[in-house]
């Protein structure tokens, strides 16, 4: 069936759909660096497309995409919203989804950065704790990459950000937005480091040597491109397989939540 996109419905159509489903997916994107060969909207694409596919298979609703979040990156074009603001905003959105009759709320982050996920998961936890009058509501945070064996296998090999997996997904979702002739990586030593540890781009500065002093974290000035892996290996077929695995995991979650 066609995906049920919240903002495309009229009031009358929404009232009808609400009688048929009380499950909503909330795609969470971010505007951040994805190398020289892909747009800043990659994580928006991933979250929104996976939600749309999940809706097509189950009939659930897809809430409007949230395009702002916390990247942690600092290259030109990246827009960072503080995790605290993001968490508060998500709680407001969840409140409105519940007010509109939704019982099952599934947050689908497109960006897997540590600080970003912490903000999302904390918001989900606090929303349930602070709204006991909605004790019949169910909230889930669906990290779709964890449900793709192929994605996880490539990550184990050191393929992380803006590399084989994400480029393959973009070749599957929106091939016209991939600039394959612009594939560029950082200098070899730094690239090898990031393939070993995806958080290696981050540096810390502690001006006072004392355990109580908080270190300042910042992106390494060595990072010029921000690719962590092998984007030149990307194939649309790989993206299609990974997409199917992610959507299958989402559909399984939706069905389980709706049978309660």
CATH number at residue 106: 3.40.50.10310
Distance between CA 93 and CA 64 in Å, rounded? 10
DSSP letter for 62, please. E
Distance between CA 47 and CA 107 in Å, rounded? 10
pLDDT-based confidence at 238, cuts 50/70/90?
very high
Distance between CA 244 and CA 153 in Å, rounded? 15
pLDDT-based confidence at 1, cuts 50/70/90?
confident
Distance between CA 116 and CA 121 in Å, rounded? 9
Helical ranges in the chain per DSSP H: 11-20, 42-58, 83-99, 114-130, 149-156, 164-173, 188-196, 236-258
pLDDT value of residue 201: 84
Q: Would you state the structure tokens that stand for residue 193, as one six-digit string?
A: 């480091």
pLDDT at 260 over 80: no
Instruction: Using DSSP bridges, classify how beta strands 23-28 and 104-109 pair: parallel, antiparallel or unpaired.
Output: parallel
pLDDT value of residue 148: 98
pLDDT at 74 over 90: yes
From the list 1, 94, 116, 100, the residue with the least C-alpha distance to 47 is: 116
Task: Kindly state the average pLDDT of the residues 198-212.
Answer: 89
Task: Kindly state the average pLDDT of the residues 106-132.
Answer: 96
Write the DSSP assignment of 203-248 as a string of letters.
EEE-SS--TTSPPEEEE-TT-SS---S-GGG--HHHHHHHHHHHHH
Task: Kindly state the average pLDDT of the residues 124-148.
Answer: 97
pLDDT value of residue 199: 81
pLDDT-based confidence at 194, cuts 50/70/90?
confident
pLDDT value of residue 196: 85
pLDDT-based confidence at 30, cuts 50/70/90?
very high
CA distances from 13 to 10, 37, 60, 61, 88 (A): 5, 40, 14, 12, 29
Average pLDDT of the chain to the nearest whole number: 96
Q: Residue 180 contacts by C-beta under 8 Å, 6 or more apart in sequence?
A: 37
Over the stretch 144-176, which tens digit does the pLDDT of each residue have?
999 999 999 999 999 989 999 999 999 999 999
Residues 165 and 155: beta-carbon distance below 8 Å: yes
pLDDT-based confidence at 70, cuts 50/70/90?
very high
DSSP letter for 141, please. E
Host domain of residue 141: 4-258
Task: Kindly state the average pLDDT of the residues 72-91.
Answer: 96
Count of the separate structural domains present in the chain: 1
CA distances from 168 to 142, 220, 225, 249 (A): 21, 27, 18, 19
Q: Residue 238 contacts by C-beta under 8 Å, 6 or more apart in sequence?
A: 150, 164, 165, 168
pLDDT-based confidence at 29, cuts 50/70/90?
very high
Tally the C-alpha atoms within 13 A of residue 230's C-alpha that lie toward its C-beta.
10
pLDDT value of residue 103: 98
pLDDT at 193 over 90: no
């Amino acid at each position: 069936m066609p995906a049920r996109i919240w903002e495309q419905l009229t009031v009358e159509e929404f009232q009808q759909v609400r009688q048929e489903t009380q499950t909503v997916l909330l795609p969470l994107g971010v505007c951040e660096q994805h190398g020289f060969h892909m747009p800043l909207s990659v994580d928006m694409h991933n979250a929104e497309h996976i939600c749309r596919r999940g809706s097509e298979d189950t009939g659930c609703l897809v809430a409007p995409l949230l395009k702002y979040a916390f990247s942690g990156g600092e290259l030109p074009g990246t827009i960072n919203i503080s995790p605290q603001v993001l968490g508060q905003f998500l709680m407001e959105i969840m409140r409105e989804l519940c007010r509109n009759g939704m019982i099952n709320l599934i947050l689908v982050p497109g960006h897997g950065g540590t600080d970003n996920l912490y903000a999302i998961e904390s918001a989900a936890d606090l929303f349930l704790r602070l709204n006991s009058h909605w004790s019949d509501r169910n909230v889930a945070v669906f990290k779709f990459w964890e449900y793709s064996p192929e994605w996880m296998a490539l990550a184990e090999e050191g393929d992380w950000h803006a590399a084989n997996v994400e480029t393959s997904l973009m070749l599957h979702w929106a091939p016209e937005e991939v600039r394959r002739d612009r594939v560029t990586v950082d200098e070899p030593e730094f690239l090898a480091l990031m393939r070993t540890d995806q958080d290696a781009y981050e540096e810390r500065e502690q001006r006072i040597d004392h355990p109580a002093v908080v270190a300042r974290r910042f992106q390494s000035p060595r990072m010029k491109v921000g690719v962590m892996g092998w984007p030149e290996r990307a194939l649309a077929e790989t993206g299609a397989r990974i997409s199917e695995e992610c959507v299958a995991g989402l559909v399984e979650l939706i069905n389980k939540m709706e049978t309660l």
